[in-house]
Amino acid sequence: YDDSLYTAWVSGYEPNLDSINLRLPTITETVTKTIVKPSPLITVGIQGKTIAGGHNIPFVADITLEEMDLTRMDMLMLPGGLGGVASARASRSATEALDFARKNGKFVAAICAGPTVLADLGITDGKHATCYPGCEDGMGSALMEPDAAVIRDGKLITGASAGCAIP
**42, 86 contact by CB (below 8 A):** no
pTM here? 0.77
Question: Taking 70 as the threshold, does the pLDDT of residue 25 lie above it?
Answer: no
Q: How many CB atoms lie within 10 A of CB 118?
A: 30
pLDDT in tens, 93-143: 889 999 999 999 998 999 899 999 999 999 999 999 999 999 999 999 999
- Contact in structure between 40 and 69 (CB atoms under 8 Å): no
